[in-house]
C-alpha cells in the first residue's frame, strides 16, 4: 500500500495521554503507507517534546518518518502546559488554535505540501470545521474505548436528561441503547458533573458536546462520519456494532512497540525527561512476574498522605517494585530515600517496562493508554481510577475482560495501604482468581497482537481508511 501523494495532518491536545496515541498513529501512517505526515500540537507542548529547539526561528522539525509543526493556543511561553483553570483556557484554545491550525494548512499548501486529510483527537471539535473551510476531509481519532464513545454518543443523542436529573444518585442505574445497565458512578464525570456551569470542567463538557454535534453535521445521504478508534474489534465487539449512523474503524492498539524505539523515528513525543537510573537493567535482575509496576500517569497529582500510604504498602508487600513519581509531584516532603525493596523513578518508558518478563502487575489510574498497553503486554492490573473514562475502564478490566481488580478507594479518594496490599495479593498470588486473571491477560495479549499484525483487522482497517482518502 503506497500513498506517497497523500499528506495527513494529525492534530492533538497538549496532554501526554493525547499526544502518545496520536503520534503512534502518525508514525504508523508514515511507516506503513509511505504517506507524508505532519504532527501538530501546541507550541508549549512541542517545545517540551523537543527541548533542544531554538527559541528563535521556525519550530518545524523532522525525524525519519514525520514532520512536526506546532499550532498556537495563545500560551506559547507556558512551560508547564495547560493552565489549571480549564474554563479560562479552553475558549482561548478553541479560538486561537483553530486560527493557527488553519494558517498551518494554508502555509503547507503554499509550500507545495497540501494537506489531504486532517485527523484530530478529542477536545479539538473545531478541527473538523477547519478542514471543511479548506475543503479537506477529516476523521476523528477517538483515543478512549468504544464503550466510552457509546456512552457519550447516547448521552448527546437523547439520553442526557436522565443522567443529569439523577447525577447526585451515584447508585442510580442508567440504561442506554446497546449497552449494559450502568450506575451513575460508572459514567465519566465529564457527563455526570461537568454539565453544570459552575463545575471546573464545564468547558470540557462543552467540548465533548460540540464534538458529537459536529459528527452529526457530517452525516449525508451518501456518507457516514468516519471515526478511527484506538481499540480492537475482539475487545469491544458489541460496542462497536452499536453505531449504524457512523463508520467506526478500530485500528488499535496503537503502541510504540510497532516502531524500533531505538531509532530516531521511535523517539520523541514525551513531555517528561526519562529517568536515567537504569531501571531496565534493574528489572533484568528480578525473577519473572515478580515486580509490581505502579504509575498514575502524566496528570494525577498525588497528595502527601496518599504517597505515604502507597510507599508503606509497596515496602511491606515483600515484592520488588518500580514506582513512577513525577518530579512535579514530589514537593510534599515524602522521604523516598528510605526505599529498600524497589525503585522510584521520575518517568520511564512504560511499554518497555510492561513488556519486561519480570513485571507481574501494573497498579494504574486506568487511563486508556495505560490499560491498552497493559493488555497488549499481557500484564494484570490493579485499578485505582479517578476521573473521566478511568472509572469505566476499571470496571471493564475487572468485570468484562477479567484482567485485574478495581481497588476500593477510601475517604478523599485515597488508596489505603491495606487495600492495595489486598489487591496485590489477589492478582499476584497463587489462588484461582490470580491464575484466571493471568490466563485472560495472555488471551487478550494474543488478540491484540493478531489485530495489529500485518493483515490483522486493525491493520486492514487502517488501510481501508487510507484508501478512502
Q: How far apart are CA 427 and CA 436, in angstroms?
A: 9
Q: How far apart are CA 133 and CA 121, in angstroms?
A: 18
Q: How far apart are CA 381 and CA 402, in angstroms?
A: 10
Kindly write down the DSSP assignment for every residue of 138-173, as one continuous string.
Answer: EEEEE-S-HHHHHHHHHIIIIIHHHHHHTTT-TT-E
Active site residue 274: no
Grid coordinates 523513578 are at which residue? 345
Q: Contact 248/227 with Cβ under 8 angstroms?
A: yes
What residues pair up with 345 in beta bridges, in sequence order? Answer: 324
Q: How far apart are CA 118 and CA 112, in angstroms?
A: 17
Closest CA to 22 of 250, 269, 248: 269
Q: How far apart are CA 24 and CA 269, in angstroms?
A: 9
Selected catalytic residue, list 5, 7, 18, 167: 18
- Whether residue 213 is preceded by a cis peptide bond, meaning omega within 30 degrees of 0, is no
Q: Contact 108/357 with Cβ under 8 angstroms?
A: no
* Non-local CB neighbours of 271 within 8 Å, separated by 6+ positions: 16, 19, 45, 48, 49, 81, 298
> The dihedral of CA 173, 381, 19, 276: what is its sign?
positive
Strand 7-11, strand 36-40: pairing: parallel
Hey, which bits of 77-231 come out as E strands?
117-120, 138-142, 173-174, 182-183, 226-229
Q: How many CB atoms lie within 10 A of CB 165?
A: 10
What residues pair up with 142 in beta bridges, in sequence order? Answer: 229
Q: Which residues are catalytic?
A: 18
Amino acid at each position: 500500500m503506497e500513498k506517497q501523494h497523500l499528506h495527513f495532518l494529525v492534530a492533538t491536545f497538549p496532554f501526554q495521554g493525547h499526544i502518545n496515541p496520536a503520534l503512534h498513529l502518525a508514525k504508523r501512517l508514515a511507516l506503513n503507507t509511505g504517506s507524508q505526515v505532519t504532527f501538530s500540537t501546541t507550541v508549549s507542548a512541542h517545545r517540551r517534546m523537543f527541548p533542544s529547539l531554538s527559541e528563535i526561528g521556525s519550530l518545524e522539525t523532522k525525524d525519519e518518518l514525520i514532520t512536526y509543526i506546532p499550532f498556537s493556543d495563545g500560551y506559547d511561553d507556558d512551560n508547564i502546559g495547560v493552565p489549571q483553570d480549564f474554563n479560562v483556557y479552553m475558549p482561548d484554545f478553541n479560538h486561537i488554535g483553530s486560527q493557527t491550525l488553519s494558517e498551518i494548512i494554508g502555509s503547507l499548501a503554499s509550500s507545495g505540501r497540501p494537506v489531504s486529510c486532517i485527523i484530530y483527537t478529542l477536545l479539538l471539535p473545531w478541527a473538523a470545521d477547519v478542514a471543511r473551510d479548506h475543503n479537506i476531509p477529516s476523521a476523528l481519532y477517538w483515543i478512549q474505548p468504544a464503550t466510552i464513545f457509546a456512552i457519550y454518543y447516547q448521552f448527546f443523542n437523547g439520553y442526557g436528561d436522565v443522567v443529569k436529573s439523577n447525577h447526585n444518585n451515584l447508585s442510580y442505574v442508567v440504561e442506554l441503547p446497546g449497552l449494559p445497565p450502568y450506575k451513575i458512578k460508572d459514567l465519566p464525570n465529564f457527563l455526570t458533573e461537568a454539565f453544570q456551569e459552575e463545575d471546573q470542567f464545564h468547558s470540557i463538557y462543552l467540548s465533548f458536546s460540540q464534538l458529537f454535534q459536529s459528527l452529526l453535521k457530517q452525516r449525508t445521504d451518501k456518507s457516514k462520519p468516519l471515526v478511527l478508534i484506538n481499540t480492537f474489534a475482539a475487545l469491544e465487539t458489541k460496542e462497536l456494532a452499536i453505531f449504524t449512523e457512523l463508520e467506526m474503524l478500530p485500528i488499535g492498539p496503537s503502541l510504540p512497540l510497532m516502531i524500533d524505539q531505538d531509532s530516531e523515528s521511535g523517539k520523541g513525543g514525551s513531555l517528561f525527561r526519562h529517568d536515567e537510573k537504569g531501571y531496565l537493567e534493574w528489572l533484568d535482575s528480578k525473577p519473572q512476574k515478580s515486580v509490581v509496576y505502579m504509575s498514575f500517569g502524566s496528570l494525577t497529582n498525588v497528595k502527601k498522605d496518599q504517597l505515604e500510604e502507597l510507599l508503606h504498602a509497596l515496602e511491606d508487600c515483600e515484592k520488588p517494585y518500580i514506582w513512577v513519581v513525577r518530579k512535579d509531584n514530589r514537593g510534599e516532603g515524602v522521604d523516598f530515600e528510605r526505599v529498600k525493596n524497589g525503585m522510584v523513578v521520575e518517568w520511564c518508558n512504560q511499554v518497555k517496562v510492561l513488556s519486561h518478563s519480570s513485571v507481574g502487575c501494573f497498579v494504574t489510574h486506568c487511563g486508556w493508554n495505560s490499560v491498552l498497553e497493559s493488555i497488549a503486554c499481557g500484564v494484570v492490573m490493579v485499578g485505582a481510577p479517578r476521573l473521566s473514562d478511568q472509572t469505566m475502564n476499571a470496571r471493564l478490566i475487572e468485570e468484562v475482560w477479567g484482567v485485574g481488580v478495581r481497588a476500593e478507594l477510601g475517604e478523599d479518594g485515597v488508596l489505603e495501604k491495606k487495600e492495595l496490599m489486598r489487591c496485590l495479593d489477589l492478582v499476584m498470588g497463587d489462588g484461582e482468581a490470580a491464575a484466571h486473571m493471568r490466563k485472560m491477560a495472555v488471551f487478550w495479549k494474543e488478540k491484540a497482537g493478531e489485530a495489529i499484525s500485518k493483515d490483522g483487522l486493525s491493520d486492514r482497517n487502517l488501510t481501508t481508511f487510507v484508501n478512502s482518502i
